[in-house]
Amino acid sequence: MWYDQPFRETRHLTALLRAIRQEAARPIRIMEVCGGQTYALSRYRIEELLPDTVQMIHGPGCPVCVTPAETVDQALAIARLPGTTLCSFGDMIRVPGSGGKSLQHLRTEGYDIRIVYSPLDALDIARENRNRQVVFFAIGFETTTPLYTLLLSQAVAERLGNLSLLTSLFTLPAAIRFLTRDPECHTDALLAAGHVCSITGIDEYRKLARQTRRPIAVTGFEPADLLYGIYRVIQLHTRGEARVVNAYARAVPPQGNEKARRETSRFFTPCDARWRGLGTIPGSGLKLRPAYEQYEARNRFHCTVSLPNGTNPCRAGEIMKGKISPRECPLFGRRCTPDSPMGPSMVSAEGACAAFYRYRTT
Amino acid sequence: MNIPDCPLPTQPTDCITLAHGGGGRMTNRLIESIFYPAFANQWLEQAHDGATLPMPHSRLAFTTDSFVVSPLFFPGGNIGDLAVNGTVNDLLCCGATPLYLSAAFILEEGLPLDTLRQVVQAMREAATRAGVSIVTGDTKVVEHGKCDGLYINTSGIGLVPGNIEIGLHRVQKGDAVIVTGPIGNHGVSILSTREGLNFETTIESDTAALTHIVSNLLAGVPDVHMLRDPTRGGLSSTLNEIAEGAGVTITLDEQSLPIEPPVRAACDLLGLDPLYVANEGILLIFLPDEHAEQALHIIRNDPHGKGARLIGHVTDDRRPEVLLELALGQTRVLDMLSGEQLPRIC
């Protein structure tokens, strides 16, 4: 049997749904923090199977969605510099900057912008193009950052002077804490992202559950994983227990990945970070340590951009706080579609708007 | 004074040079040494700009397609057999018996002749398997860096028997939708080769001309309504085009979609949806539901049709859309692909 099959089998899903229905007597609002979970909930249309008492809120866990417009503007400015090659993951090249242009637009204008599948691909590009400055648009959460440390350690070892990172790195616990303190963001329980916890471990989430007084389930991405996580937080909520359960034990060791964390600490240090749609959250980002600051593209190139004037009517910030559903945004499905996205959450497959649009029923 | 040797433009070389596209002796030599021996037939040997072809009284099917795949060679095939199979399958989808192909090459300066020979050899073998002749062609060479090694355009002509009527206008409520094999193999094979992704198993492209499947199907089933090969944009985009063109609702059963486990796993890993991944060696078939079992029996008798499945039905003729029924009975819209599928970040 193929590995993922049991987690999609009808009989398992039906059994989990039955258990949820029995347990969910009290209304509960559950935030899935991760974009991958939002995507899976939409793709498998899990929400419509849940009882009316259970409401899912789509959190801020999509790195494309939370990267601020001014950072996209910086990437655009760097890409326009002569002799520069900008490398990016695929999703990011379609995100419009504050002027409406994206990296994809610049690519059609002839600028050297490359989609890569792994940050390590940028190493080869830098090695093969010593006369060009190669910049990797390094966005992401705790899961992606260890990959950037591999890139950096190799660049340092080889003394590659033509490679740098435009970083936009976030960490989730501070953002979760911030959101749960927001009086407009009503959540009773959280689904934490399994792949993030496979790096961070679950100790920090234990603390988070105590501080926020909410149950948390560390959850995977298959339909059965999500239903099981939902079932466990409902169970804890019913019992009034604000603690963490590891509902994804097959992938998440409680201690996480110590080596990945060690390497992350070697190169990066926490900082305050601006999240698109949410504002500045203290201690929720990572920046390069002073010893490695020369690898930060912002320090290497002149790419000062002015802060966007806030005229974009995209309401992704409110969507990420659970204040409105994507369908309540006046742009959704009209002016804003995956073909012509007005905001990042319509670009990324893991953005709530794109997932809602793509997997809609009518 | 030293007079350097004259650099003869016709000196032997192992690579394509701009001179190969100049229309002169080098072009001629290329055609005579590579293309003519590979595709030899009486019509090509007319050695004219075009071929004069005998044509019985019948309806003509005519199609053209360009192939720009990178890498040129991938597990299960290369740009050469792709260029023949793709155009043959387009003719088959018209209900035609494919007869003649043209082959136009755009070659990049510096392309090893050996690479070209391998591609041409693959074209010859594919043409032989599909029962078509490559009867005319063209060669152009562009400067180094102006193309990805080698591009091929193939056009094809076939004849449609008088009793065959295939087209969007025939798609109707009650039709069964059959796919002749597993989906996503070609796109994932190309992607994994291009990006150097080392999966535990090699996923091979399914590129093939489905001549025998279609001829046996048309001979054995009384009324086939529609044939399409779901190439770029994958199954979803092709079905959306059909739904839009025919003004019908197509409802698929997710559980019945044939996706091989390694393809599913690779797509999950990369954040791609196999329903939007390109295919090459499969066809979508629309026919009355009462003939579906018989059609499946015929298709599965062919080596390229072993994985054939009934995947859904035309359920309505008022609203053009494609719906997907999920495991627990929920239904969602299956949209067209927006832009290109992009791999996810985390």
Radius of gyration of chain B (CA): 22
B345 → chain A, closest CA residue: A89
Residue type at position A48: E
Closest CB to B338 among A13, A141, A338: A338
Q: What is the sign of the dihedral through the CA atoms of A136, A357, A317 and A261?
A: negative
Domains (range + CATH), chain A: 8-63+173-244 (3.40.50.11750), 67-169+256-301 (3.40.50.11740), 315-360 (no CATH)
Q: What integer pLDDT is reported at residue A337 of this predicted model?
A: 86
Q: What percent of chain B has pLDDT over 90?
A: 64
ipTM score assigned to the predicted complex: 0.74
Q: How many CB atoms lie within 10 A of CB B288?
A: 16
Residue B306 to residue B302: CA distance in whole angstroms: 7
Task: State mean pLDDT over B79-97.
Answer: 95
Residue A105 to residue A111: CA distance in whole angstroms: 9
**How close does chain A come to B195, measured CA to CA in Å?**
7
Q: Are strands B133-142 and A279-288 parallel, antiparallel or unpaired?
A: unpaired
A14 → chain B, closest CA residue: B328
Residue B275 to residue B336: CA distance in whole angstroms: 10
Q: Confirm or reject contact between A359 and chain B (CB < 8 A).
A: yes
What's the pLDDT band for B27 if we cut at 50, 70, 90?
confident
**How close does chain A come to B22, measured CA to CA in Å?**
28
Q: Confirm or reject contact between A3 and chain B (CB < 8 A).
A: yes
Q: Confirm or reject contact between A63 and chain B (CB < 8 A).
A: yes
Structure tokens at A125: 């590009």
Q: Do B333 and A48 touch (CB under 8 A)?
A: no
Spell out the alpha helix ranges (H) of B147-260: 185-194, 211-220, 234-246
Q: Confirm or reject contact between A360 and chain B (CB < 8 A).
A: yes
Q: For residue A117, which residues of chain B lie inside 8 Å, CB to CB?
A: 195, 197, 270, 343
Q: Confirm or reject contact between A14 and chain B (CB < 8 A).
A: yes
**How close does chain A come to B342, measured CA to CA in Å?**
5
Q: What integer pLDDT is reported at residue A343 of this predicted model?
A: 80
Which residues, at least 6 apart from A259, have a Cβ–Cβ distance to it below 8 Å?
none
- Numbered residues of chain B with Cβ closer than 8 Å to any chain A Cβ: 195, 197, 261, 264-265, 268, 270-271, 326-328, 330-333, 335, 338-340, 342-346
| H or E segment and range at residue A59 | strand A54-61
Task: Count how many pairs of residues, chain A against chain B, have C-beta atoms within 8 Å.
Answer: 84
Q: What integer pLDDT is reported at residue B344 of this predicted model?
A: 55
Residue B18 to residue B26: CA distance in whole angstroms: 9
Residue with the larger pLDDT of the pair A6 and B190: B190
Tell me the sheet residues that pair with A133: A84
Q: Do B195 and A117 touch (CB under 8 A)?
A: yes
Q: Is the pLDDT of residue B322 over 50?
A: yes
Q: Is the pLDDT of residue B58 over 80?
A: no
The rounded mean pLDDT for chain B is 88
Q: Are strands A279-288 and A244-246 parallel, antiparallel or unpaired?
A: unpaired
**How close does chain B come to A30, measured CA to CA in Å?**
21
Task: State mean pLDDT over B123-152.
Answer: 94
Q: What integer pLDDT is reported at residue B4 of this predicted model?
A: 40
**How close does chain B come to A318, measured CA to CA in Å?**
23
B197 → chain A, closest CA residue: A117
Q: Confirm or reject contact between A340 and chain B (CB < 8 A).
A: no
Q: Confirm or reject contact between A4 and chain B (CB < 8 A).
A: yes
Q: For residue A361, which residues of chain B lie inside 8 Å, CB to CB?
A: 330-333
Q: Do B328 and A14 touch (CB under 8 A)?
A: yes
Q: What integer pLDDT is reported at residue B270 of this predicted model?
A: 79
**How close does chain A come to B45, measured CA to CA in Å?**
43
Q: What integer pLDDT is reported at residue B7 of this predicted model?
A: 38
Q: What is the sign of the dihedral through the CA atoms of A306, A309, A315 and A317?
A: positive
Closest CB to B332 among A4, A14, A361: A361
Q: Do A117 and B343 touch (CB under 8 A)?
A: yes
Q: What integer pLDDT is reported at residue B197 of this predicted model?
A: 73
Domains (range + CATH), chain B: 50-160 (3.30.1330.10), 168-334 (3.90.650.10)
Q: What integer pLDDT is reported at residue B6 of this predicted model?
A: 40
Q: Are strands A279-288 and A268-275 parallel, antiparallel or unpaired?
A: antiparallel
Q: What integer pLDDT is reported at residue B271 of this predicted model?
A: 76
Tell me the sheet residues that pair with B252: B312, B324
Q: For residue A11, which residues of chain B lie inside 8 Å, CB to CB?
A: none
Residue type at position B311: I
Q: Do A2 and B261 touch (CB under 8 A)?
A: yes
**How close does chain B come to A220, measured CA to CA in Å?**
13
Q: What is the sign of the dihedral through the CA atoms of A202, A204, A206 and A212?
A: negative
Q: Do A13 and B342 touch (CB under 8 A)?
A: no
Task: State mean pLDDT over B340-346.
Answer: 57
Q: For residue B197, which residues of chain A lie inside 8 Å, CB to CB?
A: 117
Q: What is the pLDDT along chain A (362 residues), one digit of tens a residue?
A: 345 567 778 888 999 999 999 999 999 999 999 888 998 898 889 999 999 999 999 888 888 888 988 999 999 999 999 999 999 998 888 888 888 888 988 998 999 999 998 899 999 999 999 999 999 999 999 999 999 999 999 999 999 999 999 999 999 999 999 988 888 888 999 999 999 999 999 999 999 999 999 999 999 999 999 999 999 999 999 999 999 999 999 899 999 999 999 999 999 999 999 998 888 999 999 999 999 999 999 999 977 777 666 667 788 888 888 788 888 898 898 888 887 788 878 888 778 898 888 887 76
Q: Do B345 and A45 touch (CB under 8 A)?
A: no
Q: What integer pLDDT is reported at residue B345 of this predicted model?
A: 52
Q: For residue B240, which residues of chain A lie inside 8 Å, CB to CB?
A: none
Tell me the sheet residues that pair with B154: B65, B103
Q: For residue A362, which residues of chain B lie inside 8 Å, CB to CB?
A: 333
Q: What integer pLDDT is reported at residue A271 of this predicted model?
A: 97
Q: Confirm or reject contact between A224 and chain B (CB < 8 A).
A: no
Q: Do A349 and B271 touch (CB under 8 A)?
A: yes
Closest CB to B344 among A44, A45, A91: A91
Residue B71 to residue A236: CA distance in whole angstroms: 53
Q: Confirm or reject contact between A215 and chain B (CB < 8 A).
A: no
Q: Confirm or reject contact between A81 and chain B (CB < 8 A).
A: no
Q: What integer pLDDT is reported at residue B8 of this predicted model?
A: 39
Q: Confirm or reject contact between A310 and chain B (CB < 8 A).
A: no
